Structure 1
Amino acid sequence: MNDTSITSTTSPGLLAGKVAFVTGAGRGIGAAAARLFAREGARVLLAARTEAQLKAVTEDIRAAGGTAEYVRCDLADPASVRAAVDRAVELYGRLDVAFNNGATAQQPGPMDRLPEADFDHVLAVNLKGPWLAMSAEVAAIRATAGRGAIVNNSSVGSLMGNPWLPVYGAAKRAVNSLTASAAVTYGPEGIRVNAIAPGTTLTEMIDHWEANSPGIIDQLTAQTPLGRAADPHEIAEAAAWLLSDRASYVTGVVLSVDGGSRA
């Protein structure tokens, strides 16, 4: 048998033909998602605050044969969020899917010790930011692709009492509610909205928590049936599936991706 008689069985990528917008794409889960979405066939617009990180991830994607551009975006700035979403349409002519991953951490500790200014910042980025992004994304999908999907990155810490990160957890629980409301509101238009709730994941955010609370990673993984923390790409895989047409009958879900910690 010679090579010319072999028929390729390679299937199209999970997100082939789609334009994807990813916030918090300069590092961690967002960077892993941007790389994965591009490998799965999407044209990707990366958004975050730090240009150097965005540029590095974008260049990695292009070097691997993917299509990517980036735009600086501050989730606490409404005009910046709207401009970033609009940029996807300017670049690629449409928007099909979006992963609202960008977030900010809080200083770990009891809620009565968190300064009011920190409370306001956490809510501005982690709750108002996704609301602004979803509003702009729905408008862009509606005006171009017509149908699409959005995934919001929540946290397993939103599903229970969270004495270590109470305001972060509260903001993420509110994102779960916004996700459900958006799913009901936009489902009739063919726009699906879901969330993922990652467990302990090896990102700079968890490194910061470990530095402030030594031993917290070991403590959390001890409570995880799979016995380890997640790699960012494992969280990105769940987001990619929810955004893909393979999840065409899934909306309004908060999917735990937590190694079984909430089982």
Structure 2
Amino acid sequence: MPEQDPLVERARKIEEATNSRANSVDRRPAWVGGLDRSLKLKGGLLKTYDMFTVILNKLSTVLRLIWWLVRKLFSFVGKIFRWAAYEREDGKVKLQDNGQPIFSGRQFIIRFMGMVASVWLVHIALSAVYFYSTAFEELVYTTGKQEIETGELYQFTGCTSLPCSTALANGKFYQITESWYFPYLVYPEENVFANIPQQDAACFVKGYGLYFRRMKFIHRRLQWYQNIYSVACRPYTEEEKEKAVNSGQVRPVNEESLNSSRNRT
């Protein structure tokens, strides 16, 4: 059997590819191709039209999904309302003489309050699980603190080891905020924030919250930091000063005391 000529085989493949493209249905309006050829854009208008069509298709898909979710939500709310508001007998809704369901205000209030209490208890339970499953204790070398929202939200920075730099892997951000649960901070500024020095202190902190050390950009982008509810601070030890002096966090000379001694002399 003679071997097939590679040139003939290549020509056959090119012809098949050309025919498949020719047989494909072009759903674009005729004016698009005509305008593109008349303006000699070399396919630029066609590419723009195709991209615009793809974007519209994706947008319509998202809108259909949102509409489906809204319909499901309203359907669920409607079922809950019918369950809570209408009287039932043997599992069926009781009807009036005109065929309309019998509304019971007392039943609706009782069941509505019961649902609110159930949701509240579930929320408390989930908050407790989150708190106790993410609770932590660690030593932090603080580098600064700031007030974000007066009386409600505060932040401070620090490191879990020395030398310290928030740009390194040991640098972290923390927040202090009011919390209705576990524990209850009525005055976060007085209870925690005021006990943290502005800088150069070793603080033993207790808090809760998830932290991804290898994905610190997530915390910074979303401003999602671990919550601190207890803090106890002390000065650096001599060994810690030796480790931190090269990082610039510990000032070897107190400028205020130096100025006061000069004034005395």
Instruction: Please tell me the TM-score bracket, short chain as reference.
Output: under 0.3
Bigger Cα Rg = 2
TM-score normalised to structure 1 length? 0.21
TM-score normalised to structure 2 length? 0.21
> Relative CO higher for 1 or 2, CA cutoff 8 Å, sep ≥ 6?
1
